[in-house]
Structure 1
Amino acid sequence: MARDSSRRDHDRQPRDRDTYRNRDRERERQRRRRGHRATDSTGELLPQAPRTPRDTSTSESPNRRKAKASDRTSGGSSNPLSLDSLAKLDQLNQKKGWKGYDYDSEYVKEVRRKEERLEKERVREEEREKRRMREEEREKRRAYESDYAREEQRRVKKERAVGEKNRRHTDDEREDRRRYEERYTESERKERRERRKAEAAQREAASDKKMRRVISGPLLEEGGNKEVHEYIAEKRGGAGSGSSDGYTDEEWARRKRKRICIIFGIVVLILAIVIPVAIVVSKKNSSSTTPQSNASANTQKPSNSELNGISESSIPATAKGTILDPFTWYDTTDFNVTYTDAVVGGLTIMGLNSTWDDSVQANPNVPALKDSFDYGTMPIRGMNVGGWLSIEPFITPSFFSGFSTHDNVIDEYTLTSKLGSTKATQTIESHYSAFVNRQTFEDIRAAGFDHVRIPFSYWAVTTYDGDPYIPKISWRYLLRGIEYCRQNGLRVNLDLHALPGSQNGWNHSGRQGVIGWLNGTDGDLNAQRSLDIHNQLSTFFAQDRYKNIVTMYGLVNEPRMVALNTDAVLNWTSKAIDLIRKNNITAVLVFGDGFMGLDNWQGKLQNYDNLLLDVHQYVIFNTDQIKLKHTDKLNFACKGWTAQTLRSEDKTTGFGPTMCGEWSQADTDCTQYINDVGVGSRWEGTMNTGNASTSVLSPTCPTNNNPTCECTDANADPSKYTAVYKQWLLQFAQAQMESFERGWGWFYWTWETEAATQWSWKLGMAAGILPAHAYDRNFNCNDTLPDYGQLGLPENY
């Protein structure tokens, strides 16, 4: 409404010259009374700091807001017309011969004079600001120079004082000087002076630069080190000028001792700083370096003397740097390093000797290798070398304990991924070399065993796109391990422990998680890849050199048939059997029970000859069995497993030939990583798998957690085991041996671990909880079973 009213008022304004003049004069007087606001050459108000001409903030006074309102109602400006409007009016009047108006010219001139004054004031203000800033800079510079001058004066004064002190001699010093001159001739004094000058020059060259590094200039200027000041003053006014000749031997010795003390103190200070830092860095590096098994870490790199006399030029250029180049091998011990590119079934024979001896007998209870082993009648007493060519976290926890939870290193797949190709090759091959070696098989033979089950993974043969595993290097260690078995009369059970895609989704299959074998998008692809691998393996091990040593040939370790299609697994098994037999393998073929239960194999695969069903028996992975009391566990081993074995051996109630390929004497699942990396135990109720159907979050031990189920005693060093606990562990192991020998026999899991005694025959035998010989036992299930509760054995560990 105000804007419309202003427009109507403007339309009613008079158009004659007198009216304009009178109105302009009146408004000029009004502007002067309320404070004139300067305008520019266009008639617009000039800016007013800090607010703009049209600032409507609440900080304005009420009078100013009223004035602005009156301006808007009277035409919207403090001028009657803008210059643009006047120019239009002039053009209109020029038609009448007019040249403009005096009052218009004077008004414009006045406005422009005001603009000029304001502009000059603005320029002057800028100049004043610049002068002020320059003055501040000059003041700061003067203050700095003054401070510097004072510091310089102080430094010069101190240096002069020190120099004066060094040049000033007391009466005693003069007397010492006189005596010195009397003691030595002039030539002797000259010789001593020259010698001291040379020594001083050497000291100055060697230590003056170091002194400047250790003691900073500002510290010297502020008198931070008196002795150093004196030393510098001596250098400036001493040997070169001859004034130092006035010191006696005693004085020189005293000054020398001071300098030595100074240098010694500096060295001690440096060491006090460097040594702790070095220790911290060393610990950090040791914790962040690639973890490896203790057995590997404590073994020096092999000497590789086999390469002596072998020229690198004997290796063709196309083979250099490959698995056929022995100069790239970490360990050449007991390998034939003569180059050959010969392959059998696409698998290299590089490293093998051309001759072998099968006349060795493991022990008096079994025949030599060249003679037949009467399977089904003669019990297998075998040993697994687990955690060697197929890495398992609970066997070698040092590979995994160095990583944080965030790293998510939980199996060989994630371990090799985290390490990267180069580091993984170095780390894992050193493990292959040291964890199981020639001595291992000699010890296994000495412990009374006659068979060795060697778990290995498919990447010993090949790898596929996306695989981080170390390809093919474990192959030559597998072949060397077989030869070590041959040298000790030990027959071999080849155990393909990991197939493409993972046959069970557990960490010992290489990759924990989803089952991708015969399952999922690549299930059929991985099934065929597995058959291709068996085609190569069976072709290779059908050679004459392996007919007496590789007497058992495994198809796949622990296929998780409870999570797979049973018919698909049986169909694949039939294809594998046909393929392997076609390639002339005459060994016993071993297949896993798939956790279906022995009684459920009656009628399946019974049309094949020389086929053996493999079951793995543990009490600790079943919540019903783990909470049995010690005497009940012993009774279950004697009766329960014996009954299962006998039913399975009978083709009318089970499959037929049956053996136990894995078992241990552990009575709890307390061992670190036994239930996967970072997962607790059923025993203490800390087994959190992230899946409600598989987690066990309530303590599961015979006491029902009263007293508390605990793992400390079970995981303790065996030297701290009570006598009754050792007795139970020994009898529990012997009871299992007896039960499994009701079938074809057994393989203990496993020979060596880093720390888990109840899973290591080597450690258990040393602790006295396993027999010294597998065939020599002092307990059988016909004996009266002790009541371990009455003997005082706690049931909570």
Structure 2
Amino acid sequence: MSEPTVRNLQPSESRYEPLPFDGLSPPATPVNESLALPMQELPAGAARPRFQGTALREDGSMMRDSFASSTFNAGGSVNSSVYALNPAGAAGGSTLSSTYLASYRDDPNADYQDESPEPTYASKAGPGYLEEKRAAYLSPRSQSKKWAIIGGGVLLLVIIGVAVAVPIILNKNKDGSTSDSSSDSGNNSSSGPADTGSRNVVTGGDGSSVTMEDGTTFTYTNKFGGYWYFDPEDPFNNGARAQSWTPALNETFKYGVDAIRGVPALYEPYANASISAVDEWTLSENMRADTANGGINQLEDHYKTFITEQDFAEIAAAGLNFVRIPLPYWAIETRGDEPFLAKTCWTYFLKAIEWARKYGIRINLDLHALPGSQNGWNHSGRLGTVNVLNGPMGYANAQRSLDYIRILAEFISQPQYKDVVVIFGITNEPQAPVTGADPLQRFYLEAYNIVRRAGGTGEGNGPMVSYHDGFLGLGNWAGFLPGADRIAMDLHPYLCFGGQSADPVSSFVNTPCTSWANNMNDSMSAFGLSAAGEFSNAINDCGLYVNGVNLGTRFEGTYTGDFPRVGSCDTVLDWQNWDDNTKQQYRELALSSMDALQNWFFWTWKIGNSSVYNTVMAPHWSYQLGLQNGWMPTDPRESVGRCGATHLFAGPLAPSATGGTGADTIPASVSESLVWPPPTLSNAGAIADLPSYTPTGAVPTLPAPTFTATSAHATSTIDAGNGWFNAQDTDGLMTDIAGCNYLDPWVGPTAAPPSPLCSANVAVRNAEVTGVPLHRR
């Protein structure tokens, strides 16, 4: 066989995407064809490899973050990731590679040492990212096709296809093929190229036009280098990026390094002052009685209109990268006489996942309401008493709650959703002072086991499990569940509840730094990832329904308890007439809060107008309103350092937060000391004397959305998952034991247990309690 002919290719002939030389001289050394990646090694139809182009410019202008792939200027446009990705001596390598490989870094905002030691070309070891980039030669659309082939299992390949601030635009041509183009704005924002008459543009940056599901359009405004991505024929593509500094959904979010900056996007019903409704239970009862106006289905109108796709686009444009979405248990089912509108909000949660994916935003799913109520507050579904881990139905309600945690965990652990729904807050604000710390800790460990059984252990397998501190304080959770795989602590710090003050806003600006910063740092070192799941700009409790419907305020002395009147809320809430100084002080308070908390969710993104006052009546709680009127920062990164360098978390996170090793090494002594269920419950007594369920019911698996792909020849349904990731989990749903008696789940802690608990022919109750396998008890 004759030796192959070797000829030098000019850049225009290279099998790589041309490097954007911006008018500068091309590399003096031509690319050798024998070293170029052979096209036959690429899957059929794949685009040529594309790279980020120049890292630094010879003309003296600023480094462009989205292209900053190297730590020094080695000569203009030749300083590109193409050389670092193809080391000398490797297939596809070049003689230039050795110069650049040692200094290449994947994150333009980090020192290259942060990612060392980089793995060798042939090695998968180490924390670096070059192997992932080398595996990501294909365009985002082509990569997702490869993913679809292996979609039946865990997604093994981290896709980096659109992990730069300049988006790749895929234009749908009339014949069904795609063409791609890219745009370089030369700064820290990205603007997608103009639509050139294509039928369907599937991605874009700042200034691009977005067409929503109903056919209406809006202009995407994102000055932070973010870009959206949604292709209806490839709906699970995770190529979108919220901002240039936030990892795209197909990249690893480095907890403890990448800051969580988020808001709750509420999918909860409005409070209507025209009816006697103090919580969703009573609101639902009133609506069910109001058949003339649509009955309970009126709630769906709120779901449809309150939070829309455009809100998600605006959240990304505000520099935020997470949303915390409160979801009640009735997204899955209701039982007995529970009046809630069942399952409907799940439909809109799926829509929220779609929108979050489209704009590169990650989701913290927060299970906000448990059956019987975990805290007795109106936002748990029903204002009243605590009936989870407390009182005669406390154990049965906890069993039922663990089932709902299991059902949600199975759904979000599927490969189609796991890179979007990355944190699972298993219970919002449980009242540990009522239930006691020990039963709550046992419940938390059991929930952890259920989530890990659903999704598996190790980074990328199932969500991070987030625990609320139960109002015990962060210090009481130090060292909880050592060796656990990816757990987080959730704190809800507020300045507005408790004692009230008439002092000016300026006097509170430094309070977050002195009150919160050190506690958060200590918790991240002693527990692991710690975040504020809620905080606001409120320094007093003025605001419509801040304390609940018609409950008054401490500030005006009208709230339950001994609170003297401090002043009138009228001026506090008159945000339309706040002067520039007042707005500036609120802005400074927001910045110091963000810096002190470091990982946070502002409550909330949006508050609707009051139906009585026709304006927002809780302005300190609306991020969107603050952005629009100048008292919230347009770039949350401005907060860094507001509390001083000594308050910044220097790391490392406690090992339980980082994961990534596949290990789940909670010591047996810990597991045994927190075995589920607890032997007794507060206000109830021994578990063996309380109503309990058995796992013999049919599991209500959550439905997936439906997507179809249409070509010139056929229409096919895209695999959206079956709602259940772990096929080995075949246990039934917790349901009534035949022959046993039960109380109403919301009965309250003062009721006596049923007597008799079970009929005489039912097996000994203790056997029922202790005979179920650990993961289902």
Q: When the two structures are superposed, what TM-score results if normalisation uses the length of structure 2?
A: 0.50
Name the structure where strand makes up a greater proportion of residues: 2
